[in-house]
A and B are shown apart, each in its own frame.
Chain A
Amino acid sequence: MKSTIQVSKLSNRKKKGVNWIALFPLLIFSIGFQVIPIISLISSSFSTKQGISLENYQHAFTPHIMEAFQNSIQLSLVTAVLGVSLGFIVGYAIISTDNKLVKDALIALADVTTNFGGAPLAFAFIVTLGSTGVITLVLKSIGVFLYPNFRIYSISGLAIAYLYFQIPLMIMLILPALQGLKKEWWEAAINMGANSQQFWMRIGIPILGPSLMSSFFILFANSFGAYATAWTLTGPDVNIITVQIASLIRGEVQLEIGLADALAVVSLFIILFCVGGYLFLSSKAKRFRA
């Protein structure tokens, strides 16, 4: 028995180099469809006829494009802040439900609706809050006129539609952290004379802090990169950065390719920064679990 183990170890060592070959198919796909295109995108954004320069970036940032970035960042900030806060309190309401059946059903609902988005969702919001939508008509009948002051086909309309997938995503992200918030801590704090506000300010929020922040980054990125929902709901009228980049790919606007690359690279780094922030903070958040 001993000798067979040694033999297999020996052959394993010999095969070590061969073992890595098994990774090749995945690596080829990843490199071919992800790494090389992105690297070439970055390098092409810095190259001009004169050589390496920031010219593309200088030219790309017209006032119109600056406004697109500003709109995208604002939209992402608003939907991330609202998504984090609403998702957090709804998640807390769900977790403190005593009825297990209701709790499981609500978690399942959040789980499913996280994946809803894109074109059908955008259309659902037109049916609900469009100029002749259900809520619009109901409010009209009681004398509240949404239109023309509010439009679902605008940036604030987009925020309402984005929250549809941001809130359940936040619930799913924060549930593990909320489950880790031990009942004993709450009881100990109350027994020592703290009120619920003091508990949250001194214990709850500081412990959940890293989870809340890391979720914020994911929600921000989720909103910043969104395109299908925005395009279906508002068409080319709303000036956000993903719509701008998409219209450059589809050749609707005459513009040098280097400029589109510059916009894409800036967006890419904003999102990568968010994903990096998420990874960093979520590893910190894990300290309080288990």
Chain B
Amino acid sequence: MKINRKSPTAAQKKNRPQVWQIILIAFFIFYMFLPILSTYIFSIATRWDRTIFPEGFTFEFYKEATDASYFTTSLRNSLILSLSTILVSLIIIIPTVYWVNVRLPKAKSILDILMILPFGIPTVVLALALVQVYNGTPIGRSPVLLIGAVFIYSMPFMYRPISNALHSIDALTLTEAGQSLGASTLQVMLKVIIPNIYPGIISGSLLVFATVFAEFTLTKLILGARFKTFPLLLVEYTRINGNIAAAFSVISFTIAWLASLLILWIGKKGQGSSTQAPHAH
């Protein structure tokens, strides 16, 4: 704003945020931060249920939380679940999306339907349907069934960033160039396409990780106590010990923040995408 044709006061008035804007944005920031900030403080407060400010501070509850039986097991279970879902997702989604883009554009509408379908099925309904159909089969109520369910539920989160990344490079030309130099389709995919879409792959994997790590409904309804994951442990402690539940919540929030910020950072750097998508809460 070096050259200003209007009078300076008019320009200032235009650029200064208006009162309604400040109020709305303050409300939004307050709503989004207060519950999380309170939980962070609650987790290090000795006692905070009688006075406006915490009565003292301690890290004792983190020690108790990490010492709690099931803590390591549930963390391990959550990692097993999210990492194996990412693996299944990568192995299935990348080649399929690549193939449809380069060789089978006709199937794009089928793919779109398959990717929107999970949003149309509430997780409790999916859990009920899966438990009934696979009841009595070898994978009934087993971690394999859970991974299948969680894969379906999280697959749009992997699909979108990868599909966006593939669109931003000219996959067809790259493939033809690779093949004219004598590479097989598999070689082109592994050595040309994947290195070029890795920001999308990492964004997708982080989104699936954040989603599956926080998954509660499918895990609880399909396996329940047999496979206790981190969110299941958290909910259990909200009924037993608030301070420890707060420590668990802080761990969850921190993981979610880190994953989201990483995705945003990758998205800023190159291809990638917004994390926004309908979710099951």
| Measured CA separation A93–B29 after assembly (Å) | 12
Query: Does B92 count as interface, using CB distance less than 8 angstroms?
Result: yes
Q: Which residue of B lies closest to A40 (CB)?
A: B133
A116 and B253 contact, Cβ closer than 8 Å, known pairs A34-B126, A123-B234, A228-B216: yes
Interface positions of B (Cβ within 8 A of A)? 15, 17, 20-21, 24-25, 27-29, 31-32, 34-36, 38-39, 42, 48-52, 91-93, 95-96, 99-100, 103-104, 107, 110-111, 114, 116-134, 148-149, 151-152, 210-211, 214, 216-217, 220-221, 224, 231, 234-235, 238-239, 242, 245-246, 248-249, 252-253, 256-257, 260-261, 264, 274-281
Cβ proximity bits A66-84 to B, threshold 8 Å, 1 near / 0 not: 0000000000000000000
> B118 to chain A: which residues have CB within 8 Å?
34
A19 touching B125, Cβ below 8 Å: no
Pick 9 A–B contacts, CB within 8 A, sort by A.
A20-B107, A34-B126, A90-B25, A93-B21, A127-B246, A128-B34, A232-B216, A246-B127, A271-B120
Q: Please name all residues of chain A whose beta carbon is closer than 8 Å to the beta carbon of B111 when the two chains form the complex.
A: 26
User: In the complex, which range does the number of interface residues on chain A fall in?
Assistant: 35 or more
A260–B127 CA distance with the chains assembled, in angstroms: 12
Residue of B nearest to A242 (CB): B124
User: In the complex, are the beta carbons of B104 and A23 less than 8 A apart?
Assistant: yes
* Whole-angstrom CA separation of A37 from B126 in the bound complex: 8
Closest to B117 in A: A34
Kindly state the separation between the CA atoms of A113 and B278 in the bound complex, as whole angstroms.
12
A→B interface (CB under 8 Å): 12, 19-20, 22-23, 25-27, 29-30, 32-34, 36-38, 40-41, 44, 89-90, 93-94, 96-99, 106, 108-128, 132-135, 137-138, 141, 162-165, 167-169, 172-173, 218, 221-222, 224-229, 231-232, 235, 242, 245-246, 248-250, 257, 260-261, 264, 267-268, 271-272, 275, 279
Given A26-B114, A30-B117, A222-B278, check contact A41 B152 (CB 8 Å).
Answer: no
B36 adjacent to A124 (CB under 8 Å): yes
Q: Return chain A residues, CB-CB under 8 Å to B15.
A: 98
Chain A contact residues: over half helix, strand or loop, or mixed?
A: helix
**Interfacial chain B residues near A36, Cβ < 8 Å:** 133
B122 touches A268 (CB 8 A): yes
